[in-house]
């Protein structure tokens, strides 16, 4: 799930590019582990891409995506091959799973931040 340019511009300007982990929720659905990439794509605009570690039955375009960034995995980097990129992504996902299973991170999954009141309008949506 990619955030819009408007949302990306609202992120703190001093946030480092790289790979992060945390929790994500689509609409008022369940909260899932996620890996987040903050980087320059294609090297001119900052982008924020969320990989939710869950298989959804259908697309969720237009839904509100709520995230909580818990920690940092590694800096942004270039890869020599698609295989190297895929391997790094798999390692990032495994590291995120390990970290998010820690009790101090697991408890944040239940935070009220993820539960929007019915009918609440967020950012004009």
Question: Is residue 96 a part of any domain in this protein?
Answer: yes
Helix (H, G, I), strand (E, B) or coil at 51: strand
Q: Catalytic residue at 49? A: yes
The total number of structural domains that make up the chain: 1
pTM of the model: 0.84
Of 106, 123, 92, 122, give the one whose Cα is nearest residue 32. Answer: 106
In a domain? residue 122 = no
- The vertex-62 CA angle with 91 and 21, nearest 5°, equals 20
**109-123 average pLDDT score:** 70
State pLDDT tens for residues 37-53.
Answer: 998 876 678 888 999 99
Tens-place pLDDT, residues 40-91: 876 678 888 999 999 888 888 888 889 999 999 999 988 999 999 999 999 9
Q: Which helix (H) or strand (E) holds 92?
A: helix 82-100
User: CATH number, domain at 9?
Assistant: 2.40.30.30
Check pLDDT > 90 for residue 18.
yes
Q: Is residue 89 part of a domain?
A: yes
Domain assignment of residue 50, yes or no: yes
CA 91 from chain centre, in angstroms, equals 16
| Whether residue 123 has pLDDT greater than 50 | no
Which residue in 5, 9, 49, 110 is the catalytic one? 49
């Amino acid at each position: 799930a990619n955030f819009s340019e408007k949302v990306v511009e609202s992120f703190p300007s001093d946030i480092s590019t790289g790979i992060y982990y945390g929790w994500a929720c689509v609409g008022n659905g369940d909260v899932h582990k996620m890996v987040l990439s903050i980087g320059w794509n294609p090297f001119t605009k900052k982008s924020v891409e969320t990989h939710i570690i869950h298989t959804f039955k259908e697309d969720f375009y237009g839904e509100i995506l709520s995230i909580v960034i818990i920690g940092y995995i590694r800096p942004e980097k270039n890869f020599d091959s698609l295989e190297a990129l895929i391997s790094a992504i798999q390692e990032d996902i495994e590291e995120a799973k390990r970290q998010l299973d820690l009790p101090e991170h697991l408890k944040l999954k239940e935070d009220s931040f993820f539960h929007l009141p019915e009918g609440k309008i967020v950012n004009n949506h």
